[in-house]
Amino acid sequence: MTLRRGLLKLPVWCLLMVTAVLMLFPIVVAILGSFKTNLELTTGATVFPSSWQFKNYVQAWSQANFSKYTFNSVFVSVFTTVGTLLVSSMAAYAVNRVSFKGKKLYIFLQSFTLFISIGAVVLRPQFDIMISLGLHKSLWGVIIILISAHATAFFMMIGFFSSIPKELDEAALIDGCNFYSTFWRIILPLLRPALAVVALFTFRNAWNEYILPLVFSLSRPDLQTLPVGLANLRYGAGAAMENQLMMAGACISILPLLIVYLFANRSFMQVTVGSVKG
């Protein structure tokens, strides 16, 4: 019986193994390539480097100004994540708990921005708004625009709020809490797994954002983030052939995402297991 059950699960395990290999193969190639010389990486003659060039990471960090790029990316990603969590959680709580005029219209507008992507069409008006605010030469302009695109986080939060019984709000009101203190003191602590999941996706999207930081750093190269810096390193006139530095920089850019995932992994698994049980 056990053998039969194992044979039935064999195709599933094979599919999972093939998927894992396909997903991990580019990462392994990038890591190995980051330790090669530029000649080895260009010719592609070997899989493993003949001699491990650890200095590629030192050069990428210092000569290619990756320390500045990393700081800018961390700055944008952290403040975007915090702002998105605050805005989306408060908006979702108000929509889920309060009946007000225009509620359906507000939800429709949020879903409109979620399902209809107009991409680069809105870059010019967004940039014009930041010019009027005096933020067109600042990373705060990028952060504000990224926070405004919080529709996905908003609907994720609504799903989590729906699982919290409204009787908790009523009990808190009886105990003397108002609407705002109920949210901050009672509801928000219950949302820690949900906040971690939303923070994980928001941080990832902000970290990988390319177009907005590129537009806002055209006149200020010191504002470039890691994705912009990596692209300039690959196609720049002075570093067009430094492919090994680009690989090293790509590996450096992966590390913060892995760190964030490690911190949010437990909450992510709790939410996933809870959804399966439900």
pLDDT of residue 275: 40
Give the chain's domain count.
1
- Tell me which residue of 89, 98, 91 sits closest to 166, measured CA to CA: 98
Owner of token pair 């809870």: 274
pLDDT confidence band for 143 (50 / 70 / 90)? very high
- Give 66-123 pLDDT, tens digit per residue: 788 888 999 999 999 999 999 999 888 888 888 888 888 888 888 877 776 666 677 8
Look at residue 54 and tell me if it is in a domain.
no
Centroid of chain to Cα 234? 23
Helix orientation angle between 139-148 and 123-132, rounded to the nearest 10 degrees: 120
Identify whether the C-beta of residue 220 lies closer than 8 Å to the C-beta of residue 137: yes
In this prediction the pTM is 0.79
Examine the pLDDT at 137 and tell me if it is beyond 80: yes
- With helix as H, strand as E and coil as C, how does the chain read? CHHHHHHHHHHHHHHHHHHHHHHHHHHHHHHHHCCCCHHHHHHCCCCCCCCCCCHHHHHHHHCCCHHHHHHHHHHHHHHHHHHHHHHHHHHHHHHHHCCCCCHHHHHHHHHHHHHCCCHHHHHHHHHHHHHHCCCCCCHHHHHHHHHHCCHHHHHHHHHHHHCCCCHHHHHHHHCCCCHHHHHHHHHHHHCHHHHHHHHHHHHHHHHHCCHHHHHHCCCCHHHCCHHHHHHHHHHCCCCCCCHHHHHHHHHHHHHHHHHHHHHHHHHHHHHHHHHHHC
pLDDT of residue 212: 87
Look at residue 12 and tell me if it is in a domain.
no
Domain containing residue 209: CATH number: 1.10.3720.10
- Give 159-187 pLDDT, tens digit per residue: 888 888 888 888 888 888 888 888 888 88
Look at residue 25 and tell me if it is in a domain.
no
pLDDT of residue 120: 67
How much of the chain, in percent, has pLDDT values that exceed 70? 85
pLDDT of residue 84: 93
Q: Determine how many CB atoms are found less than 10 A away from the CB of residue 53.
A: 19
pLDDT of residue 77: 92
Look at residue 5 and tell me if it is in a domain.
no
- Give 24-78 pLDDT, tens digit per residue: 888 888 888 888 887 777 776 677 888 888 888 888 787 767 788 888 999 999 9
Higher pLDDT, 163 or 275: 163
Spatial distance between the Cα atoms of 86 and 129, rounded to a whole number of angstroms = 22
264-278: average pLDDT: 51
Identify whether the C-beta of residue 246 lies closer than 8 Å to the C-beta of residue 230: yes
Look at residue 80 and tell me if it is in a domain.
yes
* Domain residue limits at 221: 64-277
pLDDT confidence band for 277 (50 / 70 / 90)? very low
